[in-house]
Structure 1
């Protein structure tokens, strides 16, 4: 299969310039890039990062590198009072880059009622922009509207909108629900309700959870990817936030220095090779 989109997330390049990141992703052999604006995962940012002029600059840079944008990550809690305004701006930005999917979290369980009020408005705006909101399970151990695949599937069925799906991440479940043993199988349950998936691997130690090349961790990526291989054209992104790990309390811990570019390229090259092998494609 040659038409499956495999994006490279910008998360591992935290601390490197946009140009260096995009050139590196293209050099490795990716055709698609997933921008990552995730609090705690990347350099601090505010809403000025999502202006129309910034979108123009990003699109020019992505195109110049020979890449395209299908998915966009900008995780936030959609249950706050200002979430509709903030996330609308991020959806507009993502759509301007050509993205068809925008990944975000749902909301803390304590804000469930406001989440449902907000998502009604956001789904109408998503339809106008022709972009799918893909809700992702968190990894911080808190009680969320989506804690497991079962929660996510039920939510998608309840809202019944073609513009609301999941972006399930089995590696997040590792730290979010550390007693769950069959991580890949949980993620496979989410696939029918998903528009996209983040593929990353993680290994648990006494100090917490550390991200590894795809196939070197404990997620069971080969089983998950085998299930994805049966879904024609289902898009995925390799997301490896190598600059951080999750501590024993599941909170993200970010290194002081960026990961060397050579290390990032080695890990992503190995991961892309393993993912393509598991999917049965060389493209």
Structure 2
């Protein structure tokens, strides 16, 4: 008999409003203080730091020390930017995942995050995943975090491939500190035959966070576009977030990895050079306008 899933404990929104963050992914190659100053200049209020192998410059666990956390928290305060969510994707079923992800969770909490997003696990790592997720959920309680499990985009077989995998997975975990962070921009390359917007909306009742990005599919692969210019159905997803009572408290991040595309085999490929700040700011300012328009929120004008 399947145990009913316990709804995730959703972190409070800012002033009663849904929190809209911007992922650090488009700033790949730019130092964090420059990224935060740039975000402040376009009117962003929150950043989602991105520590994702293959999406960003290489890093190791020394990026998550207490000293680094203090440094990052200071940079956030100096720029006047909040941190509600952090992406730190690993396979939670790999042998070292418990130690590695605990360190990243402590870092996330130290810089103010309430959500930490990660992949679940490759299906072959299922046994270790369920061994690890219980102590990770307990640590999330201690740190006042929630863990968002995200569907991948690389075409592999994961415990969370599409929305239909979510209910049984979360029921088996059975902990209020674990929910979904659904990303329709991953679905298009991970399971190309699945309708992206419909699958995202099917997952939303189990989400505590979601990523918004748009993708254009070509014979050469998958390319990330301005919101509304790809095939994902971002407007439809945002409309669903706005109108569905079950997703009223779901926070979101705009994630546009401008230095990255996926090949026809769905594997990520980074450009040799970082994207100029002016190009990033133009793309993200337009994305903020798109999101706020479709969520029916009022965006302050930025000079």
TM-score normalised to structure 2 length: 0.91
Gaps of 5+ in 1: none
1:157 and 1:220 map into 2 onto residues whose CA distance is: 28
Count of residues in Structure 1 that have an aligned counterpart in Structure 2: 282
SS of equivalent to 1:242: coil
In the alignment, is the contact (CA less than 8 A) between 2:183 and 2:212 conserved in 1? yes
- How big is the alpha-carbon RMSD for the aligned residues of Structure 1 and Structure 2? 1.1
Contact 1:2 1:282 in 2 (8 A): no
Determine if the alignment matches structure 1 residue 9 to structure 2 residue 23: yes
Of the candidates 61, 67, 76, which is equivalent to residue 53 of structure 1?
67
Is 2:183 aligned against 1:169?
yes
Structure 2: distance between partners of 1:4 and 1:158: 29
Does 2:204 correspond to 1:191?
yes
* 8 A Cα contact 2:227 2:287, kept in partner: yes
**1:160 to 2:169 alignment:** no
SS in 1 for 2:248: coil
Q: Does 1:257 align with 2:273?
A: yes
Shift of 1:123: 0.9
CA contact (8 A) 2:18 2:249 kept: yes
After superposition, what is the alpha-carbon deviation per residue over 1:186-222, rounded to whole angstroms, capped at 9, x for unaligned? 0111111110001000000111000011111100011
Q: For residue 210 of structure 1, what is the aligned residue in structure 2?
A: 223
For 1:34-73, what aligned pairs fall within 5 Å after superposition? 34-73=48-87
Matched, 1:224 2:237: yes
Alignment check: 8 A CA contact 1:2 1:281 kept: no
**Partner residue of 2:283 out of 253, 263, 267:** 267
2:159 corresponds to which of 145, 148, 153? 145
Deviation at 1:163, TM superposition (A): 0.4
Cα distance in structure 2, aligned partners of 1:171 and 1:274: 16
Cα shift at 1:2: 6.8
1:245 to 258, 261, 268: 261
Alpha-carbon distance in structure 2 between the residues aligned to 1:247 and 1:179: 17
Whole-angstrom CA distance in 1 between matches of 2:255 and 2:167 = 22
Residue of structure 1 aligned with 2:296, choices 273, 280, 283: 280
Whether the 8 Å contact between 2:189 and 2:266 is mirrored in structure 1 is: yes
1:121 positional shift: 1.4
Structure 2 gaps of 5+ residues are 1-14
Answer whether contact 2:18 2:250 (CA < 8 A) is retained: yes
Cα deviation digits, residues 126-172 of structure 1 (max 9, x gap): 11111001000000000001000111232112222110000000010
Quick check: 2:207–2:250 contact (8 Å CA) kept in 1? no
Query: After the TM superposition, which segments of 4 or more aligned residues of structure 1 sit over 2 Å from their partners?
Result: 230-234
